[in-house]
């Protein structure tokens, strides 16, 4: 049914993977698919802000994200399902959509918190992914 499943996670929010990863693993196991777990390091939006950081700050942030993703991934019960891990850099929802295309995902499993009033006005990253993804999207609520 699903041969490639993308799970975007926030390394600082266990709720972004606690339910999503086991569900995606179960779905991948049932269909012989591959699970792709990705995390995104957001950019520094304004050049004036970026100028306050050392030149190699982004590389160090990406290296730290890769290390933390490996640490978190070691706790996942993949039960024989093939998993690949990715770190991207850029606007969160854009990078989720780009990564889904790169890995040829046919399903994105994303966690989302219960909406607050501000989310109805601004829209969380999960909502943007749901609106703009070419792939099917399953939203897992915490």
Q: Tell whether the model's pLDDT for residue 138 goes beyond 90.
A: yes
Q: What does the buried/exposed string (b/e) look like for 54-88 if buried means 16 or more CB atoms within 10 Å of the residue's CB? A: eeeeeeebeeebeeebeebbeebeeeebebebbbb
- pLDDT single digits (tens) 61-96: 899 999 999 999 999 999 899 999 999 999 888 999
Per-residue pLDDT at 46:
55
What CATH architecture applies to the domain 4-141?
3-Layer(aba) Sandwich (3.40)
Alpha carbon distance 26, 95 (integer Å): 25
pLDDT tens digits for range 5-41 = 999 999 998 988 999 999 999 999 999 999 999 999 9
Q: What is the pTM of this model?
A: 0.86
Instruction: Provide the pLDDT for residue 53.
Output: 73
pLDDT at 83: 95
Q: According to the model, what pLDDT value does residue 130 have? A: 87
pLDDT at 50: 59
**The predicted structure's pLDDT at residue 76:** 94
- Tokens 């792939």 appear where? 135
23 neighbors 80 (Cβ within 8 angstroms): no
Confirm if 101 and 137 have CB atoms less than 8 A apart: no
Residue boundaries of the structural domains of the chain: 4-141
With bands split at pLDDT 50, 70 and 90, how would you rate the model's confidence at 128? confident
């Amino acid at each position: 049914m699903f041969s490639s499943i993308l799970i975007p996670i926030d390394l600082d929010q266990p709720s972004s993977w606690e339910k999503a990863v086991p569900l995606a693993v179960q779905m991948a196991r049932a269909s012989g698919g591959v699970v792709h777990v990705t995390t995104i390091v957001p950019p520094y939006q304004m050049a004036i802000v970026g100028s306050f950081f050392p030149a190699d700050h982004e590389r160090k942030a990406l290296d730290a994200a890769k290390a933390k993703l490996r640490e978190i991934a070691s706790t996942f019960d993949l039960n024989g399902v093939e998993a690949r891990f990715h770190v991207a850099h850029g606007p969160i929802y854009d990078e989720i959509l780009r990564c889904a295309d790169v890995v040829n995902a046919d399903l994105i499993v994303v966690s989302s918190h219960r909406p607050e009033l501000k989310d109805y006005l601004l829209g969380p990253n999960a909502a943007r992914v749901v609106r703009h993804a070419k792939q099917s999207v399953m939203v897992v609520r915490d």
